[in-house]
Amino acid sequence: MEKSLSVVISGGGTGGHIYPAIAIANEIKLRYPEARILFVGAKDKMEMEKVPQAGYEIKGLWISGIQRKLTLKNLLFPLKLISSLWKAIGIINKFKPDVVIGTGGFASGPTLMIANRKRIPTLVQEQNSFPGITNKLLSKKATKICVAYDNLERFFPKDKIIKTGNPVRQDLLLVHSKREEAQAFFKLDKKKKTVLVIGGSLGARRINQLIELELGFFKKQDVQLIWQCGKLYYEEFKEYDKENNIQVFQFLNRMDLAYAAADFVISRSGASSVSELCIVGKPTIFIPSPNVAEDHQTKNAKAIVDKHGALMLKENELNTFPVVFETLLKDKGKQESLSENIKELALPNATSDIVNEIEKLIKK
């Protein structure tokens, strides 16, 4: 009897690393229902909650990143790394994977390092236009690197790179047929334009402050808001949910319907959000977070803006938001061209293409 396929997937820290990992796992399960899939994450991060919710087993490593300033956490880093490498050896020896996949985040470092050392094929999936330190280090020994943007041979060995795009939720591919269902779900006024505000799963302080500051402006423009303020800020902003034409959410469980309902989107530019918005194709204003490694959100947004697919406002330019938004609201031609141009950049088959590459590694 042929042994069933065994796969280890490692990545996490943020939704941007976790959701692609889960999408890849789901596609593998679809093709190989008997496959054994094990996730490896960082002990105190959100993957420890999100992965079991998606129906997969996860093991946690005691690992975190290096802070930019001297802290106790930095002094603990060598100890955490050694502990994580030992645990990764135990996991890989016991589970005997046929392939190991890393989607970024600290836990994928020790896991893929050990897999590489044991000559197990590894695939790195890089979501951003500017890679993080973990994936840069892993790329030297990885077998394949799946990317979502052009020009990444500056960071990775050229012969290993395959441009697939980022895995996105499959329900987003049908967003355009869900408009009426979405309007009913959110109890929206069909005569008004709808603005969707998303700042990532934890939320974005500056975006939330901007929306709070401009509530009077939105009222004057006669638009309605679906405002996902995030887990960290819900207590602070939930009072606005009582007001007409404003709905405040900690988290949106039906992202497909939120996108379907939206006429405009105001969003951070994490890699997953950018990939989703390319598929959804709504006029978008990106407000990148300046607080992420190597300012990669600005680079992600710029890759779209340079192709005339979205607008971008940096956090230090938010005083111009009312002018930018009102101009867009009144310019139907601009809305249509942004929509068409961003859709041109979509790679809707990313998950399937990545798993095709994984299959090639297994067959070798």
* Whole-number Å distance between alpha carbons of 96 and 28: 17
Neighbours of 328 (CB within 10 A): 17
Specify the pTM.
Answer: 0.85
**Which residue range forms the structural domain that includes residue 249?**
170-344
User: Do 175 and 226 fall into the same domain?
Assistant: yes
Q: Evaluate whether 266 touches 196 at the Cβ level (below 8 Å).
A: yes
User: Do 118 and 177 fall into the same domain?
Assistant: no
- pLDDT at residue 66 tops 70: no
What is the tally of structural domains in the chain? 2
Spatial CB neighbours of 234, under 8 Å, sequence gap ≥ 6: 203, 248, 249, 250
Burial of 146 from C-beta contacts in 10 A (0-12 / 13-18 / 19+): buried
User: Do 183 and 318 fall into the same domain?
Assistant: yes
What DSSP designation does 4 have?
Answer: P
309 is in an annotated binding site: no
Q: Evaluate whether 45 touches 58 at the Cβ level (below 8 Å).
A: no
- The CATH number of whichever domain residue 339 belongs to comes to 3.40.50.2000
Spatial CB neighbours of 62, under 8 Å, sequence gap ≥ 6: 42, 43, 80, 83, 84, 87
User: Do 287 and 177 fall into the same domain?
Assistant: yes
12 is in an annotated binding site: no
268 found inside a domain? yes
The confidence band for 1, taking pLDDT boundaries of 50, 70 and 90, is: very low
15 is in an annotated binding site: yes
What per-residue confidence (pLDDT) applies to 33? 96
235-289 tens-digit pLDDT? 999 999 999 999 999 989 899 999 999 999 999 999 989 999 999 999 999 999 9
309 found inside a domain? yes
1 found inside a domain? no
User: Do 239 and 146 fall into the same domain?
Assistant: no
User: Do 88 and 150 fall into the same domain?
Assistant: yes
User: Do 260 and 203 fall into the same domain?
Assistant: yes
User: Do 340 and 193 fall into the same domain?
Assistant: yes
User: Do 14 and 155 fall into the same domain?
Assistant: yes
169 is in an annotated binding site: yes
Neighbours of 159 (CB within 10 A): 8
14 is in an annotated binding site: yes
178-216 tens-digit pLDDT? 999 999 999 999 999 999 999 876 678 999 999 999 999
Q: Give DSSP secondary structure letters for 73-115.
A: HHHHHHHHHHHHHHHHHHHHHHH--SEEEE-SSTTHHHHHHHH
154-171 tens-digit pLDDT? 999 999 999 999 998 888
101-127 tens-digit pLDDT? 999 888 899 999 999 999 999 999 999
253 found inside a domain? yes
State the maximum Cα–Cα separation within the chain, in Å, rounded to a whole number. Answer: 69
User: Which CA distances in Å does 291 have to 129, 250, 298?
Assistant: 16, 21, 10
Q: Give DSSP secondary structure letters for 132-187.
A: -HHHHHHHTT-SEEEESSS-GGGTS-GGGEEE------GGGGGGGG-HHHHHHHTT
230 is in an annotated binding site: no
284 is in an annotated binding site: no
User: Do 141 and 156 fall into the same domain?
Assistant: yes
User: Do 148 and 214 fall into the same domain?
Assistant: no
Task: Give which of 358, 364, 256 is closest to 28, Cα–Cα.
Answer: 358
326 found inside a domain? yes
- pLDDT at residue 71 tops 70: no
User: Do 356 and 320 fall into the same domain?
Assistant: no
335 found inside a domain? yes
For residues 2-30, average pLDDT:
89
38 found inside a domain? yes
For residues 130-149, average pLDDT:
93
